[in-house]
Structure 1
Amino acid sequence: MLSAEEVQQYHADGYLIKRQFFSREESQRLLEKSRSDKVLQESAIRRDDKDGRTTKLTVWNHPIDDLYGMFSRNKRLVTAVEQLMGEPVYHYHSKIMLKEPRVGGAWEWHQDYGYWYKNGCLYPLMLSAMIAIDRATTDNGCLQVLKGSHHVGRVNHGVTGGQVGADMQRVDAAVSRHELIHCELEQGDVLFLHCNTLHKSAANLSDNPRWSYIIAYNAVRNDPLWEHHHASYTPLKTVDGNAIMQWKEDTGSSDHQALIFNTDKDSGDRTED
């Protein structure tokens, strides 16, 4: 359970870092699984930044009984998300970001709701939980946020290079008024991010990878107004907190490939982080 002070901090700042939310053993399972997951890596979409560097991401909508689902459906995580949101949520989509050493590109300034508003989500009752698979540092392109910038409200977004970015006139104004925070994370830390918080990440020019598992949640009452490639309301079936360590490799893992989709092909989407 998060404390009342942590919930208050999230609403004031637009983000919350919870250190060692997942144990070293749980985090190591996620690292080993993702590094060995050929389906995950071969299905990755490529996104170029304005300098031509490339970052890869793999996206899916529905959690199943694989290891990734044991994280996104984990009662510990879902409970924390619902505390921050103040209401029931469902799984909107998941993605794993693969920011490789030396070549991993930057992500331009944006808000997640800058995309999701266009998907038909009427209210900014959404957040992302970013789980650090690798250590995230300034050197390898950790997430940067403008503290409290979610109070600005939704900013218009347009295409920048191969990505969708926020209106830079608004961003520049926000930069002059809000503190820039480099969200350095250790393996197993979780960053909870309000969907209207302006954020970006720099290119990975280090020798170390920076992979992260990002799970987007939407309020049940914020079901999209129209059908889109991301999930409409589907009941979220949580699993016990110890499900990560109890999971076995052959449990549902063969179904994961069918859930991964290519956003270039399916929607022209340019997501994100």
Structure 2
Amino acid sequence: MSNVLTEKQIDSYRESGFLVVEGLFEDELVERARRTVDRLLSGPDLGAVAETEPGDPTVARRIWAPTSRDEVFGRIAEYPRLLDTVADLIGENLVLQYSKLNVKAPRVGSVVQWHQDFAFYPHSNIDLVAALIYLDDATPENACLRVAAGSHRLGLLNHEVDGYFAGKIASLPAVGVPESTVVDCPGKAGTVVFLHPLVAHASELNHSDRYRRAFIPAYRASDALPLYYGPHASHNEPTAKLVRGKASKTARTEGGTWRLPLAAAEFNSLFEIQEGAHLASSGRKAATGYFAGEAAEDPSALAAAVM
């Protein structure tokens, strides 16, 4: 083990399901990433690189696959001290599963409702971790991350609405998570919030006049393999990359069952499914999972499913 983290920090992560760490990156690297985001957001082809806010194609809320947009994001995702820290949490054999960059524009910034990452990407075991890296100073006013401490110990929570995966937890108390466990995770630019795949987290609207942008590379142990290959999950696999240690010839499995993210219709992002926008085509989108075959035999079944 690389021992970037103290035993106290590792114990805190295991107990609460998240860990806030400062000082992993030099300021220049974070500043360079911020300038790159500014360039991407001001380009003429914003719609080609980003998902935009509903009703305003000039304001981005997520930059797709940032590691493919500029090498600075690949450098951050494979930064030695970051990988050392991830290794302290889930082991030395690491795969970079995917990356994304969430943008909370001033006075806007779409809400991210309560959810667990594992609900979207169930794997053969739970040795996964997402590293949310603030590129701007983050406070409650500009929508820093919120986490329900200890919620990972409750297992996979219900993310369904009317029997279909909806990408969100209807309410924390309804699934046994006390509101009193919710904590804000503020931090200076460069701060990293490490998230257990089963910890519930969310973020609010940005009520300030400042951006809150966060680059999020997500990692898994090399013997943690996906259990679900629906479109929203399978697109990550062609670019998944071994970044530390050795590839695994086996899949390590845990006992029990995981509910699959079978939605009423295909979706392209967390925002889309949480907002219900994936249903807006009145049945013209293909259904997911087991419902696809049913809809193919009877198109009216799909229309009923997504109405």
**TM-score bracket for this pair, using the shorter chain length:** 0.7 to 0.9
Compared CA separation, residues 112 and 55, structure 1 to 2 (3 A): farther
Equivalent position to 2:207, from 199, 205, 208: 205
Q: Does 1:230 align with 2:210?
A: no
For the structure 1 residues 236 and 229, does the alpha-carbon distance in structure 2 shift closer, same or farther, using more than 3 Å as the test?
same
Per-residue displacement from partner, 1:87-137 (whole Å, max 9, x unpaired)?
Answer: 4220110001111011212111111111112xxx23222110011111111
One-letter amino acid of the structure 2 residue matched with residue 190 of structure 1: V
Distance 1:236 1:64 in 2: 19
The structure number with the bigger radius of gyration is 2
Secondary structure in structure 2 of the residue aligned to 1:203: coil
Q: Quick one: distance in 2 between partners of 1:132 and 1:108?
A: 19
Task: Describe the shift of the 1:107–1:79 C-alpha distance in structure 2 as closer, same or farther (beyond 3 A).
Answer: same
Distance 2:121 2:236 in 1: 9
The percent identity for this pair of structures is 27
Aligned to 1:194: 196
Name the structure 1 match of 2:253.
Answer: none
Q: Which amino acid aligns with 1:269?
A: N
- Quick check: 2:151–2:200 contact (8 Å CA) kept in 1? yes
User: How many angstroms apart in 1 are the aligned matches of 2:53 and 2:28?
Assistant: 31
Aligned mate of 1:181, from 180, 183, 194: 183
Equivalent positions of 1:25-174 (< 5 A) are 25-37=28-40, 38=43, 41-42=46-47, 43-46=49-52, 56-60=61-65, 66-117=71-122, 121-158=123-160, 164-168=167-171, 173-174=176-177
Give the secondary-structure state (helix, strand or coil) at the position aligned to 1:168: coil
- Mapped to 1, the partners of 2:27 and 2:190 lie a distance apart of 7
Name the SS of the counterpart of 2:9 in structure 1: helix
1:55, CA displacement in angstroms?
6.6
- Contact 1:59/1:93 (8 A) holds in 2: no
The normalised TM-score by structure 1 is 0.76
CA gap of 1:106–1:73, structure 2 versus 1, over 3 A, is same
Runs of 4+ in 1 over 3 A off after TM superposition: 38-42, 61-65, 169-172, 232-235
- The higher-RCO structure (CA 8 Å, 6+ apart) is 1
Instruction: Name stretches of at least 5 consecutive residues in structure 2 with no aligned partner.
Output: 245-265, 275-307
The secondary structure found in structure 2 opposite 1:68 is helix
Q: Provide the TM-score with structure 2 as the length reference.
A: 0.68
- The amino acid of 2:270's aligned partner reads T
Instruction: Name the aligned partner's letter for residue 230 of structure 1.
Output: N
The answer (yes or no) to whether the contact 1:90–1:219 under 8 Å persists in 2 is yes
Q: How many residues align?
A: 234
Q: CA deviation at 1:3?
A: 1.6
Distance 1:159 1:232, change over 3 A: farther
Question: Which residue does 1:252 correspond to in 2?
Answer: none
Compute the displacement of 1:32 (Å): 1.0
> Could you say if the C-alpha distance between residues 169 and 132 of structure 1 is closer, same or farther in structure 2, counting changes exceeding 3 Å?
closer
Cα offset, 1:144, TM superposition: 0.5
Is 1:13 the counterpart of 2:1? The answer is no
Counterparts in 2 of 1:39 and 1:158: CA distance versus 1, 3 Å: farther
Aligned alpha-carbon RMSD (Å): 2.8
Shift, 1:164, TM fit: 2.0
Post-superposition offset of 1:60 = 2.1
Q: Which region of structure 1 is more displaced relative to structure 2, 60-69 or 201-210? A: 60-69
Please identify, of 60-69 and 151-160, the stretch whose mean Cα deviation from structure 2 is larger: 60-69
Instruction: Call closer, same or farther: CA 1:169–1:80 in 2, change over 3 Å.
Output: closer
Cα shift at 1:159: 6.0
The CA distance in 1 between the partners of 2:178 and 2:124, in whole Å, is 26
